[in-house]
């Protein structure tokens, strides 16, 4: 045998401490061990089964340890090659089968215990995270109710100023006046309003509008060009105002902060907390409101329109129209998924509300749109 | 492939002679100098996910570099980042080693490097973290340490106690338990040792004579605190 590939390590007094690599062959009468180190007197050593003792050992208790008293002192063999172990197990005589089974049982127990510990630890982490994510609504509400409005305004304002500094803001004109009138009519109907709403028109073809915590609302001219009446814009505005009134943005922030804190505790990343605070500013713009929050803003928005004597049908028609058309990119829809169920719910809600005769706006919507540089919208 | 340790002691280097076509993989940034016949390739050992998990789980570098003698024989000089000794081991396909995350410097082509997850108590208290490198295969393996490397040879069932975070590498035939350094909890920490690893043979345990964490804590007091 010129080239042999060892499959086990043999330990004994005359061997190095790292063990002597050797080739173990399983035969009928016992084990034959050929050492790699001395091919000159490479007489294979035969050990009968009767003199062997087996157990489990090694770092993870996953190796088969075979011991016997050799001519030159005690020998210990560490086997981990599955083929050899299987062959050994199949030919093993009856007196060894019990210790063999015990060794196998030991390996199983170690693995089982390890799996158990890990699944317990994993389960605890998972349930903490899940608990915070799903079962935390009450905690979040308590936390949010304890945050003063001033804080909320500061938080929203810094993000708002930062956003506007990169945008072309429309300071005056019919569009600004029209939005001002809508805001005024609606806010007059909000009881105990702690917010001073600030609505800004930003020149951009993006069909979108968003609200930041603290009462900062941005409406893009793209959305105003798309709307066929002032009532439709008022519908979107009412929806956004109610995100602010219900403190939805704050709820999301508190929730994601909670998750981040748990993550930071679990993974021990202290740097992450700092980066997280910085990212929060960016986060405000990408905040996706949860489904429940959207529904709440829809329904409350509808009621607000009703109280302000603005025709609530505009809200529904605008939503429907946006969802039907797939021309262009409807940014507002990407964060406000529109579906039939949502429109139907609004219609049902509208039917349940007491009928009020709407009062028209003082501005002419077509003129507002012309002032934005848009051709009067032709119905498709 | 022949290798030799130059300047043994605190600031050693390894010189590896490569035959034409041979290659060696090394920790990213380990190459100090090499012959012009040698090409340096950056390689994500174990594929992208393997590299990613190694980076995040063990803190080892994302990329390994492969030094390949493509244009004829040549030599390369390799050195670790931290001051400390280097040891060269020969793997024969049967003996494999667990190596703590900063211990790997270089390995021959036939060396297989895998991440291995430790048990909960070993991971939390052993000082090496949850993930260590399991290095097996055939060929030369170069390890580095912080401080000097000391080899402990254990006979079957012989025990030895090592303070955690002094471990560099240990054979898979050894096993260890984490225990308190002294019998009492308070004394365990006031003695400055906290937890220790009780190793049981047979096999080899390589330890480093300095503890990187303690050294970091010690040096921190001299670093001026800026805003």
Q: What's residue B140's pLDDT?
A: 94
Q: In sequence order, which residues have a C-beta less than 8 Å from that of residue B173 and are 6 or more positions away? A: A9, A11, A19, A57, A58, A59, A63, A78, B95, B201, B202, B203
Contact B94 A8 (CB under 8 A): yes
The tokens describing B3, both together, are 């290798």
Smallest Cα distance from A106 to chain B, Å: 15
Give the lowest-confidence range in A99-108, A140-149, A161-170: A140-149
Contact A76 B202 (CB under 8 A): yes
Question: Does the CA dihedral A358-A364-A370-A371 come out positive or negative?
Answer: negative
Q: Please, is A135 exposed, middle or buried when counting C-beta atoms within 10 Å of its C-beta (0-12, 13-18, 19+)?
A: exposed
Contact B94 A18 (CB under 8 A): no
CATH 2.30.29 segments of chain A: 8-109
Angle formed by the axes of helices A248-267 and A149-164, nearest 10°: 90
Contact B120 A63 (CB under 8 A): no
If you average pLDDT over residues B172-193, what whole number do you get?
75
Q: What's residue A113's pLDDT?
A: 84
Q: What is the CATH code of the structural domain delimited by B2-218?
A: 3.60.160.10
**H or E stretch covering A101:** helix A94-134
Contact A59 B202 (CB under 8 A): no
If you average pLDDT over residues B44-62, what whole number do you get?
58
Q: Would you say residue A87 has pLDDT above 80?
A: yes
pLDDT tens-digit readout, B125-145? 766 677 788 999 999 999 999
What does the alpha-carbon distance between residue B77 and residue B67 come to, in Å, rounded to a whole number?
10
pLDDT tens-digit readout, A150-209? 888 888 888 888 888 888 888 888 889 999 999 999 988 888 888 888 999 999 888 888
Nearest to B10 by CA among B65, B76, B72, B84: B84
Q: What is the CATH code of the structural domain delimited by A8-109?
A: 2.30.29
Q: What's residue A99's pLDDT?
A: 82
Determine contact: B120 vs chain A, CB below 8 A: yes
Q: Are A230 and A365 in contact (CB under 8 A)?
A: yes
Q: Which residue of B has its CA nearest to A23?
A: B94
Say which of A7, A59, A67 has its CB closest to residue B172.
A59
pLDDT tens-digit readout, B3-33? 999 999 899 999 999 999 999 989 888 999 9
The pLDDT mean for chain A works out to 80
Q: Are A33 and A10 in contact (CB under 8 A)?
A: yes
Sequence-separated contacts (24+) of A257-261 with Cβ below 8 Å: A258/A132, A258/A136, A258/A139, A258/A140, A259/A129, A259/A132, A259/A133
What does the alpha-carbon distance between residue A298 and residue A235 come to, in Å, rounded to a whole number?
9
What does the alpha-carbon distance between residue A232 and residue A211 come to, in Å, rounded to a whole number?
17
Q: In sequence order, which residues have a C-beta less than 8 Å from that of residue A14 and are 6 or more positions away? A: A72, A73
Band of the pLDDT at B55, cuts 50, 70, 90? low
If you average pLDDT over residues A357-380, what whole number do you get?
76
SS3 content of chain B, % helix, strand, coil (to 5): 15, 45, 40
Smallest Cα distance from B97 to chain A, Å: 10
Q: Are B13 and B7 in contact (CB under 8 A)?
A: yes
More confident: B58 or B163: B163
Size of chain B, expressed as the number of residues it contains: 227
Q: What's residue B87's pLDDT?
A: 94
pLDDT tens-digit readout, B187-201? 666 666 678 889 998
Interface test with A, best of B59, B91, B94, B227 (most A CBs within 10 A): B94
Contact A76 B156 (CB under 8 A): yes
Chain Cα centroid distance, residue B148: 13
**H or E stretch covering B131:** strand B131-144
Residues of chain B contacting residue A19, judged by C-beta atoms under 8 Å apart: 94-95, 171, 173, 202-203
Question: Does residue B202 have a cis peptide bond before it, meaning omega lies within 30 degrees of 0?
Answer: yes
The domain limits of chain B are 2-218
Strand partners for A57: A63
Q: Which chain B residues in 10-69 lie under 8 Å from chain A, judged by CB atoms?
A: none
Interface test with A, best of B173, B203, B227 (most A CBs within 10 A): B173
Residues of chain A contacting residue B100, judged by C-beta atoms under 8 Å apart: none
More confident: A324 or A87: A87
What does the alpha-carbon distance between residue B114 and residue A129 come to, in Å, rounded to a whole number?
29
Q: Which residue of B has its CA nearest to A121?
A: B120
Interface test with B, best of A18, A113, A116 (most B CBs within 10 A): A18
């Amino acid at each position: 045998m010129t080239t042999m590939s060892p499959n086990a390590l043999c330990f004994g007094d005359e061997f190095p401490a790292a063990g002597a690599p050797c080739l173990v062959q399983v035969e009928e009468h016992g084990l034959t061990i050929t050492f790699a180190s001395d091919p000159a007197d490479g007489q294979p050593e035969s050990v009968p089964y009767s003199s062997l003792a087996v157990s489990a050992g090694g770092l993870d208790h996953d190796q088969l340890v075979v011991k016997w008293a050799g001519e030159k002192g005690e020998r210990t063999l560490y086997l981990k090659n599955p083929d050899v172990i299987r062959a050994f197990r199949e030919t093993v005589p009856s007196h060894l089968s019990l210790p063999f089974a015990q060794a196998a049982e030991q390996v199983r127990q170690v693995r089982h215990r390890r799996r158990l510990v890990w699944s317990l630890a994993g389960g605890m982490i998972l349930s903490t995270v899940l608990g915070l994510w799903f079962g935390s609504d009450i905690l979040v509400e308590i936390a949010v109710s304890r945050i003063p409005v001033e804080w909320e305004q500061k938080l929203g304002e810094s993000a708002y100023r930062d956003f506007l500094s990169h945008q072309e803001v429309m300071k005056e004109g019919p569009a600004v006046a029209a939005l001002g009138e809508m805001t005024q009519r609606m806010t007059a109907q909000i009881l105990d309003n702690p917010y001073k709403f600030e609505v800004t028109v930003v020149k951009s073809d993006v069909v979108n509008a968003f609200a930041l915590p603290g009462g900062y609302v941005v409406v893009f001219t793209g959305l105003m060009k798309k709307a066929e009446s002032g009532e439709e814009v008022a519908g979107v505005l009412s929806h956004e105002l109610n995100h602010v009134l219900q403190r939805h943005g704050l709820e999301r922030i508190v929730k994601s902060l909670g998750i981040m804190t748990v993550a930071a505790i679990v993974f021990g990343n202290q740097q992450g907390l700092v980066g997280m605070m910085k990212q929060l500013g960016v986060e405000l713009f990408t905040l996706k409101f949860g489904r429940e929050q959207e529904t709440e803003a829809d329904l409350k928005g509808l009621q607000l329109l009703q109280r302000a004597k603005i025709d609530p049908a505009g809200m529904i028609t605008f939503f429907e129209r946006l969802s039907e058309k797939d021309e262009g990119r409807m940014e507002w829809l990407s964060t406000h998924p529109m579906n039939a169920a949502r429109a139907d719910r609004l219609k049902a809600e509208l039917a349940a509300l007491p009928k009020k005769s709407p009062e028209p706006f003082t501005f002419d919507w077509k003129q507002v749109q012309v002032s934005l540089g848009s051709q009067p919208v032709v119905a498709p | 492939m022949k290798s030799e340790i130059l300047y043994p002691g605190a600031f050693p280097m390894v010189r590896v002679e490569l035959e034409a076509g041979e290659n060696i993989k090394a920790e990213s940034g380990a190459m100090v100098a090499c012959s012009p016949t040698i090409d340096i390739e950056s390689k994500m050992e174990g594929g992208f996910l393997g590299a990613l998990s190694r980076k995040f789980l063990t803190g080892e570098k994302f990329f390994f570099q492969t030094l390949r003698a493509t244009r004829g024989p040549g030599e390369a000089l390799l050195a670790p980042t931290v001051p400390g000794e280097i040891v060269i081991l020969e793997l024969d396909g049967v003996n494999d080693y667990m190596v703590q995350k900063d211990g790997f410097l270089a390995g021959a082509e036939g060396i297989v490097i895998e991440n291995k997850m430790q048990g909960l108590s070993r991971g939390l208290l052993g000082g090496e973290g949850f993930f260590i490198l399991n290095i097996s295969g055939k060929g030369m393996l170069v390890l580095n340490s912080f401080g000097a490397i000391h080899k402990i040879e254990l006979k079957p069932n012989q025990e030895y106690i090592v303070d955690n975070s002094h471990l560099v590498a240990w054979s898979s035939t050894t096993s260890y338990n984490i225990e308190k350094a002294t019998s009492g909890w308070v004394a365990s920490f006031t003695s400055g040792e906290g937890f220790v690893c009780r190793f049981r043979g047979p096999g080899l345990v390589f330890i480093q004579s300095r503890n990187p964490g303690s050294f970091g804590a010690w040096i921190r007091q001299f670093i001026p605190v800026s805003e």
